[in-house]
Amino acid sequence: NTAKKRETLPFQIDGIVINVNNNALFNKLGVAGKSPRAARAFKFSPKQATTKVLDIKLQIGRTGAITPVAVLEPVNVSGVTITRATLHNEDEIERLGIRIGDTVIVERAGDVIPDVAKVLTDLRTGKEKEFHFSKNCPSCLTKLKKLSGEVLWRCPNKNCPAVKRENLYHFVSKKAFDIDGLGPKIIDKLVDEKIITQAVDIFTLKEGDLIPLERFAEKSAKNLTESINKSKKISLSKLIFSLGIRHVGEETANDLADYFGSIDKLKKARKDELEKIGDVGPKIAESIYQWFNTKQNQKFIKELFTSGIEIINKKSKVKNQKLKGLTFVITGVLPTMTREAAIEKIRLFGGEISESLSKMTDFLIVGENSGSKLEKAKKLGIKTINEKDFLAMLK
Ligand SMILES: [Zn+2]
């Protein structure tokens, strides 16, 4: 009964506690270990389905990391059609013993990408194919490398076409240059037609370059060049984020922008200087330092500015320090504010925002369709608030 009701609840649950509804009896039953005998936890089975593995592919990310992915026969898991599941890394493939053609149980936990929970080896027909994890990049065939202490293989080729493409997607994405109308599909087209080969080329695109492309009407070409021009005015933090420096997420980019105030100063920063900032540790400092001290990247920055990039310094004057010393994490969709607007508010009032929950988190702001973060917050004893509570804190 509760399993059915679960779908309509405004929050996610992974189980219930069943109690004896009689105080006298409850007490009489006593305690075993730390938990009362009259209360029992009941866990729902996670949201699972059974399907077939059609193929296993290696996917390359922006940093060159290789993730194996299972291509699945489409299957519905709690209302969503799933065609892919992550296999995480080589070790996981070995652990599962998964083969192409296998029947598997896939599982969706919260809002994360589904993964393969179990391989049903009893259903094998003998036609399944073992998967050999190639040690060469699927895109450029360069020998893959694994850094010590890491589980992921990476393509070390700085000019790997697949990595370059992923970086282009990142460069134009919402939190970076935010170029309206320039998504992965159009990037793919522009790269395939060799109209662009690197990010800087985007800023020299003319309507005339776009119109000949298949299905590119005059109007959309005009709209795209307009939004490209608009994007040339960018805040320093977004520019830093767009560079795709390893370990530099939105929050770190913001801290770096606040601290250095210009790309020139950041460019010259020493490692020990970088380590003074926010959550930048030796690993992140090294990554930033290496990035700015690579010739190819220095040339890239130079070209960006010659192509007409202009930094707008919206030094958002901190209004007051009501949220000073407090760290927030947001999960789910807020009723009236966009996530970006909420983040801006937090910063404006002197607070910090983080992507993931930790002991340092003070508040989790919970919206609709919040995922596993809510449970984690409860486990860590972090206060959860809704949008209304949050706005009240600012008054
Ligand atoms: Zn490669």
Residue with tokens 């073992």: 130
Q: What are the extents of the domains in the chain?
A: 2-43, 47-130, 161-231, 236-311, 327-393
Kindly write down the DSSP assignment for every residue of 281-343, as one continuous string. -HHHHHHHHHHHTSHHHHHHHHHHHHTT-EE----------TTTT-EEEEESB-SSS-HHHHH
Ligand 1 centroid–CA 138 distance in Å is: 7
Ligand 1 centroid–CA 59 distance in Å is: 10
User: CATH says 161-231 is which class?
Assistant: mainly alpha
- Supply 91's token pair: 């070790």
Q: Cα separations (Å) of 388 from 244, 323, 365, 385, 394? A: 35, 15, 10, 8, 10
Q: What is the pLDDT of residues 302-351, one digit of tens each?
A: 999 999 999 987 555 555 778 888 999 999 889 888 888 888 888 878 88
Ligand 1 centroid–CA 164 distance in Å is: 9
Pairing verdict, β 129-130 and 99-100? antiparallel
Ligand 1 centroid–CA 367 distance in Å is: 39
Q: Which has the higher per-residue pLDDT, 110 or 289?
A: 289
**CATH 3.30.1490.70 for the 2-43 domain, yes or no:** yes
Pairing verdict, β 47-60 and 103-108? antiparallel
Ligand 1 centroid–CA 66 distance in Å is: 9
Q: What is the pLDDT of residues 66-98, one digit of tens each?
A: 999 999 999 988 778 899 999 999 999 999 999
- Return the number of other C-beta atoms located less than 10 Å from residue 68's C-beta: 20
Ligand 1 centroid–CA 160 distance in Å is: 4
Q: Cα separations (Å) of 288 from 78, 260, 269, 291? A: 42, 13, 9, 5
Ligand 1 centroid–CA 146 distance in Å is: 13
Ligand 1 centroid–CA 158 distance in Å is: 8
**CB contact at 8 A, 71 and 55:** yes
Ligand 1 centroid–CA 63 distance in Å is: 10
**CB contact at 8 A, 43 and 14:** yes
CATH of domain 327-393: 3.40.50.10190
CA distance 93 to 70: 10
Would you say the CATH fold of 236-311 matches that of 161-231?
Answer: yes
CA distance 344 to 334: 14
Ligand 1 centroid–CA 133 distance in Å is: 15
**Average pLDDT estimate for 278-289:** 91
As its CATH architecture, domain 47-130 has Beta Barrel (2.40)
User: What is the average pLDDT value for the chain, to the nearest integer?
Assistant: 89
Length of the chain: 395
The CATH fold assigned to 236-311 is DNA polymerase; domain 1 (1.10.150)
In the predicted structure, residue 58 carries a pLDDT above the cut 60:
yes
Q: What is the pLDDT of residues 384-393, one digit of tens each?
A: 999 999 999 9
CA distance 146 to 134: 13
Q: What is the pLDDT of residues 238-266, one digit of tens each?
A: 999 999 999 999 989 988 998 888 999 99
CA distance 3 to 14: 9
CA distance 274 to 271: 5
Kindly write down the DSSP assignment for every residue of 119-149, as one continuous string. E-GGG--S--EE----SB-TTT-PBPB--TT
What pLDDT sits at residue 46? 64
Ligand 1 centroid–CA 220 distance in Å is: 33
Residue with tokens 């922008």: 257
CA distance 182 to 140: 25
Q: How confident is the model at residue 119 (pLDDT cuts 50, 70, 90)?
A: very high
Q: How confident is the model at residue 216 (pLDDT cuts 50, 70, 90)?
A: confident
